[in-house]
Amino acid sequence: MPGILFTTLIYLSISVATSQTKVPEPGFTSLFDGASLSGWEATGNVNAWAVENGELIVKPAGGGWLRTDKQYRDFDLRLDFYLPPKGNSGVALRASSNENPAFSGMEIQVYDTYGKEPYPGACGAIYDAIAPNESALHEPGSWNTYRMVLSGDTINVWLNGKHIHNNEKLDQRGTGQGLALKDRLKTGYIALQDHGDPIRYRNIRIKDLSPDPDPGGFRPLIKNDLSNWFATGGATWVVENGTLVGRDGPGHLFTKERYGDFEIRAHVKVNENGNGGLYFRTVPHPDDADRWPIGYEAQVDNNDPKQFTGAIYDRSWPDALVTRDDSWFDYRIRAQGDHIQTWINGQPMVDTHLDKFDSGHIALQSHHLGNEIMWRDIQVRDLGPLPKESPQPKELGQ
């Protein structure tokens, strides 16, 4: 009898802990399992987050975010949040892992503005950019429900069933504390804000609508320093708040590690009339390390009509230019055997077969004096074993 009672108590405790966690709708994936922080990473105070009774709790530590392990571009995101009186938090979309998620991507505001007229800081606002079209927040001390559908440059948001953003365009608005919405990241993490108030979240689930969803398994190439890289040429390279910045040039920054078959994803921005690239399966020029490396280059150039961003320099070219200066874009490069592919913001650019190089370093380029190129969240995943060291043909990159 005592054994049965003990088992029953365990069962009841588990039931209570998971009672608020629902099974996601068909096609949706749960982002929060109701029991742990699995699948999430804290960018501020890790002790600010806890799981209680199947809910994700923001403890009053103040300052920081909790972000997903994977990145998302287009999606249908749904969640519930509990807002105490005067509570403040937010849900960031397409955020980077370093700069303020509210402005590297965008923040859908979670804030006790019950009874107030809509404004760009009210609950439901795209923070500091677009006010909701109506106030739909329940009284403080109540649960609320968000649905956010983001596709390309268009966002729809529902709060408690009311359509508070109806096909809003990510345009020139939002420049008060950062880049305009149209120039922010096109892909990124989903993040929850710790603003020092005891907000609660539950039933966080997502349907990934991206044309090229993040498969996971990526590892960062740069965190806070360049200890795993070496430089050649005249460019300067520095990590500023987690963002790698290359200035002037010509010059290149090489990984110390070599790669064969791999996939890279990164966020990139180049200044006006800027030029750069990501070399792969490359080595420094054997006759002069300050010259163009030998290998393939995935081009970053929004001005050369023959070598647009997304091209494999002088080997394969996209049909159209889809990027612009001073605006972030998501670059994806995949090399498996002789099959080389590139994507910009999920749009296929190059799909070709090239057999000159099978392994080498990854290198970033800054092209000329006055050049500035920025990289965020550079991540790589291996697609196969590294080939044995082999001589590289003497073909110049650019």
Nearest to residue 61, comparing CAs of 84, 38, 97, 89? 89
Distance CA 181, CA 103 (A): 8
Q: How high is the pLDDT of residue 328?
A: 97
| Span 299-333, pLDDT tens digits | 999 998 889 999 999 999 999 999 999 999 999 99
Say if residue 22's pLDDT is above 90.
no
Q: How high is the pLDDT of residue 20?
A: 57
Question: Do you know the residue count of the chain?
Answer: 398
| Span 158-192, pLDDT tens digits | 999 999 999 999 999 999 888 999 999 999 999 99
The secondary element (H helix, E strand) that includes residue 348 is: strand 347-353
Cβ pair 250, 366 in contact under 8 A: yes
Cβ pair 279, 335 in contact under 8 A: no
The CATH number assigned to the domain with range 22-208 reads 2.60.120.560
The mean pLDDT of the chain is: 91
Q: How high is the pLDDT of residue 243?
A: 94
Cβ pair 119, 112 in contact under 8 A: no
Q: Give the global pTM.
A: 0.90
Q: Quick one: fold of 219-382?
A: Jelly Rolls (2.60.120)
CA dihedral 104, 106, 111, 115 (to 10 degrees): 140
| Span 93-145, pLDDT tens digits | 999 998 899 999 999 999 999 999 999 999 999 999 999 999 999 999 999 99
Tokens of 18: 């998971």
In the chain, residues under CATH classification 2.60.120.560 are 22-208, 219-382
Say if residue 42's pLDDT is above 80.
yes
Query: On the CB side of 231, how many CA atoms lie within 13 Å of its CA?
Result: 15
Using CA atoms, how far residue 149 sits from 93, 159, 182, 206, 288, in Å, is 10, 12, 17, 10, 51
Tokens of 312: 């494999």
| Span 190-238, pLDDT tens digits | 999 998 899 999 999 999 999 999 999 999 999 788 999 999 999 999 9
Tokens of 380: 């790589």
Distance CA 165, CA 175 (A): 19
Distance CA 285, CA 251 (A): 12
Cβ pair 232, 254 in contact under 8 A: yes
Nearest to residue 41, comparing CAs of 106, 101, 84? 101
